[in-house]
Structure 1
């Protein structure tokens, strides 16, 4: 979703910094706020050249994050390794991770064609595309391995939804008290979900954005994170369908039933802490029915189903 914006809305020092990274004779002539981001302020910038042609860039501004520099540095590390891999990701133009030149930590990158699609309509066609893209990401062997994945949710931080199946949730919470199953590490996007994927007509997957959480860890974790998002957006059955589609596309998940259940349960419990945070951008994108209460009920159904 975009909102037309004046170029003057881009902060002066940031606009000057952006201008220094343009080609000779180019200037920013338009800025549009991109809604849907959670951690950053995003703007699409239209850049006009001296010949009258235009191109588009995307400016990420991190307004209120204690570890903004680390956050942007991790995205830079991922973006610099993705060109030539076949994964449709933005290309890095410039970064000011410590706000040495901009008002806030900022990152400038190329713009990808396509749009995020969160509607129920067409989800059956999009899920196999998501699965195939995840398989391709997990097949990458980066020269510089990203940091090991971090699982922030603990048994003590899970937020049990009001009216949830207490027995099922207690069993799920007990499950993540245990050490994670052994795994063979792979390159992970770590926040692969419909809000970070762009589609064109067809449908056709045209881009994967927001690489700041790229990590090294189990493929199950990426699949489980996206599955939980699909379950919240479209219903629990679509979370389960992604797992099937991932294996149909050649992806490899944990070998045993207990190991395969651990990661989806952990991902579901992680979302229990994020419902209000994810609900807002989804509603801004047009899914007005996805209130925090509505998502809590869907999450309960999903977690309860996983626990059998």
Structure 2
């Protein structure tokens, strides 16, 4: 009998589809909802193997998501590209981007060991590890260039938090009204942040931090390295304080990464990402609270975002 939690229940058509992609003699013995996903339903499927052991797969399902087909095709292509690469990522098992077989667009992949680390403890070791991993991602050279990146915000859609530093936000919005600066193309993950990176939690904090996997490759695109660095910086600033957002860019360069030379060009990408997060504060804060950061209310995250935007603008001199 299938043993599962109600939230982890797999819909009948998807269940049948998954079973068609198992090895002979394997069976699904448990399903479990995974936390952290904002746009997709994520479920871990424990598979009973022929030798009496188990292995895990992950099922990603998009329900009523406008860009589901594009995102799943991007992820499937990227996971195929990463097979055998130095970047730890899931292996693609199957994809149904247009819901031909499943109730909703879905992707099946292998499960990676490790877990996300969103707390303050061990942060000093994790930040350099994150930076080194991102440098390795940006070193990838796909045979076929992915689609050009898309801006996630505009000067007219940014949401200024209540009580924010009006002068700083006005300045930041003015920055992204200017044309995007030229850049050397890379293959950004496009959603690289601590919530999409898995760590080996068995390592003592002082011994360092070892990344076991990078997940959620649905937004992979072509653009500047600054895109990924700015996004991770913003997330670190909201999780741990503005100074950590600024520290990540330094760690990226220390790891060998190359960012825009001109300070104004770097600021463009930093401001654009911070303002993009202004439109998702409530969703991001909720996901972090569900992951254990219960103190990160929407208001608390808004305050940290305001502090980070202010710090970026103050750093201009």
TM-score normalised by L of structure 2: 0.94
Deviating above 3 A after TM superposition, structure 1's stretches of 4 or more consecutive aligned residues are none
Q: Distance in 2 between matches of 1:283 and 1:50?
A: 39
SS of 1:172 mapped into structure 2: helix
Q: Where does the alignment leave 5 or more consecutive residues of structure 1 unmatched?
A: none
TM-score normalised by L of structure 1: 0.97
Question: Structure 2 matches for 1:169-184, cutoff 5 A?
Answer: 169-184=169-184
Counterpart of 1:59 in structure 2 is 59
What is the CA deviation profile of residues 101-157 of structure 1, one whole-angstrom value per residue up to 9, with x for unaligned ones? Answer: 111111000010100111111111100000000000000001121111100200000
Number of aligned residues: 305
Q: Distance in 1 between matches of 2:302 and 2:142?
A: 37
Note if 1:232 corresponds to 2:243: no
Q: 1:205 to 1:230 in 2, by over 3 A?
A: same
What is the CA deviation profile of residues 231-265 of structure 1, one whole-angstrom value per residue up to 9, with x for unaligned ones? Answer: 00000011111111000000000011111211111
Counterpart of 2:155 in structure 1 is 155
Q: Where does the alignment leave 5 or more consecutive residues of structure 2 unmatched?
A: 204-208
- Say whether the 8 Å CA contact 2:158–2:276 is kept in structure 1: yes
SS of 2:182 mapped into structure 1: coil
- Say whether the 8 Å CA contact 2:28–2:46 is kept in structure 1: yes
What is the CA deviation profile of residues 184-234 of structure 1, one whole-angstrom value per residue up to 9, with x for unaligned ones? Answer: 000100000011000003221100000000011110110000000000000
Shift of 1:33: 0.6
Tell me whether 63-72 or 209-218 shows the greater mean CA deviation.
63-72
Shift of 1:59: 0.5
- Say whether the 8 Å CA contact 1:7–1:30 is kept in structure 2: no
Q: Distance in 2 between matches of 1:24 and 1:178?
A: 58
- Say whether the 8 Å CA contact 1:6–1:31 is kept in structure 2: no
Shift of 1:67: 2.1
Q: Distance in 1 between matches of 2:270 and 2:70?
A: 27
Counterpart of 2:206 in structure 1 is none
RMSD: 1.2
Q: Distance in 2 between matches of 1:275 and 1:290?
A: 10
Question: Structure 2 matches for 1:1-308, cutoff 5 A?
Answer: 5=5, 9-200=9-200, 201-202=202-203, 203-308=209-314
SS of 2:288 mapped into structure 1: helix
Shift of 1:162: 0.4
Q: Distance in 2 between matches of 1:168 and 1:54?
A: 53
Q: 1:83 to 1:306 in 2, by over 3 A?
A: same
